[in-house]
Structure 1
Amino acid sequence: MGLKLKRIHHVAIICSDYQRSKAFYTNILGLPVVNEVYREARQSYKLDLALPDGGQIELFSFPNPPSRVTDPEARGLRHLAFAVDDIDAAVAWLDAQQVSAEPIRIDAHTGRRFTFFQDPDGLPLELYSESELQWQDPN
């Protein structure tokens, strides 16, 4: 029978500078705010941001959160990937916002184009092209 999972409902992110991260996710990534609350007892903001597929990103602030492990191959969430139709336009938008992205690469297994960039706390984010399949030489 199983769990019958349907989709990811939300991804929770703890940030070091709430206003900076809020501006990044709303202004740079363009995610609309669903709800924002300040939880006095925890001295913490919780910001719910809508994703186009119905999922959400929950952005949290806490006083003095510990830093993440720096090893990119450490256990845990490796990166968060967003599907885009036009990766070149998306990278150009990031560049215009002074957000650096890595050079666009091609996934050797799917032939799709992708790149990585970071949020204000260094969380790796990926843009993955769902519509731009690169031709692959079968040899």
Structure 2
Amino acid sequence: MNINKIHHVAIICSDYEVSKDFYTNILGFEIVAEVYREERRSYKLDLKVNDTYQIELFSFPNPPKRPTNPEALGLRHLAFEVDNIQSAVEELLEKGIEVEDIRVDPFTDKKFTFFPDPDGLPLELYEK
């Protein structure tokens, strides 16, 4: 597996408008895209961090406290970009790491999957 870089950081917030104001007006991140997902009653705000990184800000109704549920309040997951997701998944499986099925993002058509770190933090592989 050859991890190229961190692709994005996703954060679930408790108050979408307050967090949106903070990240855009206080910290100055540029809005790349904003989508409301009716089926999940959830906003997804893509914020540009320089030209290399992106923050995804999510809202969900009544997110549970966590450290394990990826739909909970706080840091959602840390994503790593890879050239070939299938190869990376096979490498993780060979090392005894449980990996979710590969999915396809309906907005970007990119392949991705999740696996936990030793403490259960959701980590993502995202195909370049």
Write the mapping of 1:33-112 to structure 2, written as runs, cut at 5 A.
33-68=31-66
CA offsets, 1:75-100, max 9 Å, x none? Answer: xx6xxxxxxxxxxxxxxxxxxxxxxx
- 1:53/1:7 Cα in 2 relative to 1: closer, same or farther (>3 Å)? farther
CA-CA distance at 1:66 after TM superposition:
1.7
Count of aligned residue pairs for this structure pair: 69
Which structure 2 segments of 5+ residues have no match?
Answer: 68-74, 76-128
- CA apart distance, 1:57: 0.3
Deviates more, 1:28-37 or 1:50-59: 50-59
In the alignment, the residues of structure 1 paired with residue 22 and residue 44 of structure 2 have an alpha-carbon distance, to the nearest angstrom, of 15
Matched, 1:24 2:22: yes
Report Cα offsets for 1:16-39 as digits up to 9, x if no partner.
000000000001110000000000
Name segments (4+ residues, structure 1) moved above 2 Å. Answer: none
TM-score w.r.t. the length of structure 1 is: 0.46
State the TM-score, normalized to the length of structure 2.
0.50
Cα drift, residue 53 of structure 1: 3.9
Structure 2 letter corresponding to 1:34 = V
Q: Which residue of 1 aligns with 2:101?
A: none
State the partner residue of 2:84.
none
Cα offset for 1:55?
A: 1.3
- Alpha-carbon distance, 1:67 to partner: 2.8
Q: Give the secondary-structure state (helix, strand or coil) at the position aligned to 2:28.
A: coil
More strand per residue: 1 or 2? Answer: 2
**What is the rounded CA distance, in whole Å, between the counterparts of 1:16 and 1:51 in structure 2?**
21
The residue matched to 2:63 in structure 1 has which SS? coil
User: Structure 1 unaligned runs (5+)?
Assistant: 70-76, 78-139
Letter in 2 for 1:40: E
- Secondary structure of residue in 2 paired with 1:63: coil
User: Percent of pairs identical after alignment?
Assistant: 69
Q: Which has the higher contact order (CA 8 A, sep 6+)?
A: 2
The Cα shift of 1:65 comes to 0.7
For the residue of structure 1 that corresponds to 2:24, the secondary structure is helix
Deviation at 1:68, TM superposition (A): 4.5
CA distance in 1, matches of 2:31, 2:53: 12
